[in-house]
Amino acid sequence: MTGLYIHIPFCRQKCLYCDFFSRKYDVLLADKYIDSLIKHSQKFKNKKIDSIYIGGGTPSVLSSKQIQKLLQSLKNNFNFPEIKEFTFELNPESVSKEKLHILKEFGIDRLSIGLQSVEDKSLKYLGRIHDFKTFCCAYDMAKHEGFDNISIDLIYGLTNQSVGDWENVLKKALLFNNDHLSLYPLSIEKNTPFHKNGGITDDKIQREMYEKTVDILERKGYVHYEISNWAKKNKEAFHNTNYWRNREYIGLGVGASGYLERNRYKNIEDIDKYMNFIENNLDCAIENDYIDEKLYATETIILGLRLLSEGLSVNDFKSLQHKVILLECLKEKTLIQEEEKIKLSKEYVFVFNQIASKFIV
Ligand SMILES: C[S@@+](CC[C@H](N)C(=O)[O-])C[C@H]1O[C@@H](n2cnc3c(N)ncnc32)[C@H](O)[C@@H]1O
Ligand code: SF4
């Protein structure tokens, strides 16, 4: 079984911190893009799909008609009854009852809403075009339409944000009592206005915020199942968890990555060229890396260590080199062993990259 990721590369306006691939929404361009996505998806008609994630950019910026056309073609192409989880990303300002109704009709059972902050002044600072009230309306509409599996994205560690400020943001967000939270420390990415304006973040404060978060969410009954993700029991994101389990997935759309038959690929990051390639039946995957046995073993370990509660099997450390590094990590207690499972120690989650890089041999 394979996952399917579909990239919608349009936003109403670029946020000041974001370096993800997206362009300003234009109805005619989006119409053409949807046609390309539909044609692209037909290439994978015979694949058995068990999860779909439509992300962006801003999938909800598409018109109702465009969403309906895309979902109808996916339904014709893939066997929907086999799909265990179907997620659609929403930005608060572009949610409508009509769009939610269409999503429900086509079996979308999980929504991920980008809130980022509950404070209007922080939303402005981040360059978001919605306020908190707009989020609340979108959330209520989704609930009313019958969506009960909703994830919220928040960003912490904004410039001048204190640990107490973040605690208040988190506590207010927790009032929604939703099933899933994705929480990211602000990172200043190149090619963003934040970077150009010399934006900075403070590692020490972000770490304190992270530790506070772990503490608060644990007491609220959330499982910290991945470095940046918390969920109520059995509400972990199935599609995303499969990335960390090193399973296959198809990446559809401009700039999307995929992993099929040991080939990690990335589609071209130019909308016009992408549409041209698809129209002319050319391969739009311009970066292809064959994952041999050795690299596969390393990736399995590095990805699997992100799964804090599930961990990895001891048997995933196959080579002598990986076994030696594992023993060193167990000795210094950066990793722990629970029966047949190897997990990252709680104290080292914030420095995950340092631990994981030891396994690159
Ligand atoms: C690519 S965005 C798409 C989600 C949706 N368009 C939105 O804006 O809410 C996925 C998530 O990545 C996070 N993100 C993007 N850029 C980030 C940055 N520079 N630092 C921290 N988090 C970031 C945000 O929380 C965002 O919700
Ligand atoms: S954070 Fe979301 S809405 Fe903002 S620019 Fe990035 S993808 Fe678009």
Ligand 1: nearest atom to the Cα of 189: 19
Q: Which two tokens stand for residue 112?
A: 């991920």
Residues 317 and 225 in one domain: no
Mean pLDDT across the stretch 2-12? 98
Asked if residue 46 has pLDDT above 90, the reply is: no
Report residue 80's pLDDT band, with 50, 70 and 90 as the boundaries. very high
Return the percentage of the chain with pLDDT > 70, whole number: 100
Residues 194 and 342 in one domain: no
Residues 317 and 239 in one domain: no
Residues 88 and 226 in one domain: yes
Give me ligand 2 centre to Cα 310, in Å: 30
Determine the Cα–Cα distance for residues 152 and 111; give it in Å rounded to an integer.
Answer: 9
Residues 353 and 214 in one domain: no
The reported pTM is 0.97
Residues 231 and 324 in one domain: no
Indicate if ligand 1 lies below 6 Å from the C-beta of 56: yes
Task: Say what the pLDDT of residue 314 is.
Answer: 97
Domain assignment of residue 33, yes or no: yes
Contact of 58 with 8, CB cutoff 8 Å: yes
Determine the Cα–Cα distance for residues 318 and 314; give it in Å rounded to an integer.
Answer: 8
Domain assignment of residue 75, yes or no: yes
pLDDT for 273-328, tens place per residue? 999 999 999 999 999 999 999 999 999 999 999 999 999 999 999 999 999 999 99
Residues sharing a CB contact under 8 Å with residue 168, sequence separation 6 or more, in sequence order: none
Of 187, 212, 244, the residue that ends a domain is 244
Give me ligand 2 centre to Cα 14, in Å: 6
Of 210, 244, 278, the residue that ends a domain is 244
Residues 39 and 147 in one domain: yes
Residues 199 and 348 in one domain: no
pLDDT for 183-205, tens place per residue? 999 999 999 999 999 999 999 99
Give me ligand 1 centre to Cα 115, in Å: 9
Domain count along the chain: 2
Q: Which domain holds residue 52?
A: 2-244
Residues sharing a CB contact under 8 Å with residue 288, sequence separation 6 or more, in sequence order: 263, 264, 265
Q: Please report which residue ranges of the chain form alpha helices under DSSP H.
A: 27-42, 64-77, 97-105, 120-126, 132-144, 163-174, 193-196, 203-219, 238-244, 271-279, 293-304, 320-331, 352-357
Residue 85's beta-bridge partner residues? 51
Report residue 74's pLDDT band, with 50, 70 and 90 as the boundaries. very high
* List of long-range contacts for 327-332, beta carbons under 8 Å, 24+ apart: 328/358, 329/355, 329/358
Domain assignment of residue 236, yes or no: yes
Residues 118 and 204 in one domain: yes
- Look-up: residue for tokens 């890089």? 357
Residues 235 and 350 in one domain: no
Residues 234 and 335 in one domain: no
Domain assignment of residue 145, yes or no: yes
